[in-house]
Structure 1
Amino acid sequence: MNRKQLLLLAGIVLLAIVLGACAQQGQQEVKEVEVTRVVEVTREVSGPAAQPPAKKGILQTVRERGKLVCGSRTDLAGFGYLDENGRNVGFDVDLCRAVATAVLGDPEAVEFVPLTAAERGPALQTGEVDLLSRNVTWTTTRDAQWGNFTIIMFYDGQGFMVPTASGITTIEELDGATICVTSGTTTELNLADAFRQRGLDFTPVVFEDTATVYSTYESGGCDATTSDKSQLAAIRSGFADPDAHRILDITISKEPLTPAVPSGDDQWFDIVKTVMAVLINAEELGVTSQNIDEMMKSDNVQVRRLLGIEGDFGQGDLGLDQDFAAKVIRAVGNYGEIYDRYMGPNGDAFTLPRAQNKLWSDGGLIYAPPLR
């Protein structure tokens, strides 16, 4: 091998050594990157992702608190008012007491939060109240925005009250009248719709406070006032001279009144619906606060299921005692007892014929799902 060949061979060997070193360095760099990636992935999957704390349900909150917070009122005879001892009473109030009995075993374990008409929606939306039972009309918009509406417990309709001396008997005779109305209610919209549809004019006299609406009307501050007919009957009963005012035989709207609960808690929604169904079914079955001890011996399978003697209708699934319905009936009575207590022939507040609020089996509209 001559000198040139030796030099060429040495150059090739040297080049191979350099290239091999570079390749080895490159491989090391790649391996370092790969290791880095493996470490990163390992760190990501090495521990469980943080979980948000479970949201506490309303039933648990009520039981831990030891009382039910109920949105109500204290200024409407028959539905929500104070008796001579300052105790909250009324049809809507007793619906709250029924729920308190079902979940706490005590009809007195209720904090009543007086709300104006305008405050009802926000109180539900923010969860300020566990239950709203305050002459609340169920509408599609309120269902979408406020919360969940349960079972219709009172069927009503909007009407008008006028001074008897006015001689007014029809809505057309109210053309151009001033009409007192409560703000934040379906009453405002119904009033505007009814007059617009008939091509009539009116001037609304609007107040947020219901008491101011009616005191203004009674003192002659407007020609008429409008609201649910049951509310007009309640207010009229408290006037200095009830006979000086008449409720027109006119109904301009549907007003299904029902308790409502905050949205987002199906268990609580179902509990309140079931308690309302218990009140209605108890009247259907003839079970009252007065005869419940005797009914505990009944051989009627529906009565025995209602009272928790045999079978069930979902009590355990809802977190309620097997005999919660019996406790509710003992505490507040059935639907008919509650109605008559305040608005029956010998009602504490006034007398209002049940009409469409009779049981379906008696020709009315009051109807609840069967307990099974």
Structure 2
Amino acid sequence: MIRRVLAMAALGLCLAACDRPERPAAAPSRPAAKAPAAPIAYTPADSPTLKAVRQRGYVSCGVHPGLPGFGFPDVRGEWQGLDADVCRAVAAATLGDAKKVRFVPVPAQDRFGPLQSGRVDLLARNTSWTFARDAGLGLEFTAVTYYDGQGFLAPRALGLTSAEELSGARVCVQADTASEGNLADFFNARGLRYRAVTAASEEEARRLYEDEACDVFTADISALAASRSLMRAPNAHVILPNVISKEPLGPVVRQGDPAWTDIVRWAIYALVLGEELGLTSRTVEQARETAVDPETRRLLGLEGDLGPLLGLQKDWAYQVIRQVGAYHEIFRRDVGADSALKLDRGLNALWNAPKPGLMYAPPMR
């Protein structure tokens, strides 16, 4: 009997222990939160090129000796064209005066030599951005100013509708250029025969073509349009629809001066952002008085103190747009509707245009 009572008591104690709620485990102690570290103050790197430009009082810019639409002297000896205007944009950004440029004509065969030797501060000469040029020459491509591609110019009388019909053709091409390699790639990949008729310059290639020393002429489509505008009978020639390569054209600078690379790059982006924000050379002055959009105000130097990050004045981009124009103004007068080339915007339209293109600039912030 006693044993039964003891057993019942033990069972009661056990059941009571099971019904007792468990105590929550003590929460692990957390280290005290650290205050966020203050951002490291950035001191803009000095640019040896910018220093040299300011000491001499002008930008030295390598350009094409004579390519309508991109770089050529007019009848008064003043340089015109999209590449020439890019040079002026850099001068406006760095010196506050777009006229402070000295143009240095550079041949295709040694277009990079004057840049590598320091004779010019930048090369703006319808030059294609390629891997080998970017990685193998000690140079930096800054930004694309014109998206192009290689094509073929043919007499309209031949009735050609495609470059695929050119088997056995004689093709005029400038020697020692990307166009010469692209030509070989195009025909060899398709098992087509051709004979290259090489020329030392675009001018010579155009002359050979007009003199019927070759059947067709190949180069970047913009260069073909420029050459056609100079021919005796421009309407007698047609650019075939084939585009056989990608040719992103833009200015080149030397490696080793990243601040100068950024200056040239953002001078170009200022042109593109100017168009995107609805600014023109005629309206930008008024915009400085009335703009409320934060990005427009930053671009024009009214907020943000961004210019000093590149060693430039606060109004550097304002000067670029006021003196040179926004990208659409430059395009229209140099290669578009107001020029002899009459090129469409195509890939060079803004990314957010009704017919979108590839032209795009990072935000100004």
CA distance in 1, matches of 2:58, 2:249: 24
CA distance in 1, matches of 2:192, 2:268: 41
Aligned counterpart, 2:99: 108
Aligned pair partner of 1:123 in 92, 114, 117: 114
Aligned counterpart, 1:302: 295
Aligned counterpart, 1:76: 67
CA distance in 2, matches of 1:111, 1:170: 42
Aligned counterpart, 1:9: none
TM-score relative to the length of structure 1 = 0.83
TM-score relative to the length of structure 2 = 0.84
Aligned counterpart, 2:316: 324
Deviations 1:210-255 (A, max 9, x none): 1101111111111111011111111111111011111101011000
Aligned counterpart, 1:371: 364
Aligned counterpart, 1:227: 219
Aligned counterpart, 2:8: none
SS in 1 for 2:232: coil
Aligned counterpart, 1:141: 132
2:169–2:195 CA contact under 8 A, matched in 1? yes
Quote how far apart the aligned CAs of 1:299 are: 1.2
1:270–1:318 CA contact under 8 A, matched in 2? yes
Aligned counterpart, 2:161: 169
Runs of 4+ in 1 over 6 A off after TM superposition: none
Total equivalences in the alignment: 316
SS in 2 for 1:180: strand
Aligned pair partner of 1:239 in 227, 231, 234: 231
Deviations 1:87-107 (A, max 9, x none): 001111000000011111111
Aligned counterpart, 2:90: 99
TM-align CA RMSD: 1.3
Quote how far apart the aligned CAs of 1:56 are: 7.3
Aligned counterpart, 1:13: none
SS in 2 for 1:361: coil
Change in Cα spacing, 1:148 to 1:222, as seen in structure 2 (3 Å) is: same
Quote how far apart the aligned CAs of 1:346 are: 2.4
- 2:128 is the counterpart of 1:155: no
CA distance in 2, matches of 1:74, 1:320: 30
Structure with the larger helix share: 1
One-letter amino acid of the counterpart of residue 209, structure 2: Y
One-letter amino acid of the counterpart of residue 243, structure 1: N
Structure 2: gaps of 5 or more residues = 1-45
Deviations 1:39-92 (A, max 9, x none): xxxxxxxxxxxxxxxx97111111111111101024111111122211001111
CA distance in 1, matches of 2:101, 2:140: 20
CA distance in 2, matches of 1:370, 1:64: 31
Identity within the alignment, %: 47
CA distance in 2, matches of 1:272, 1:364: 22
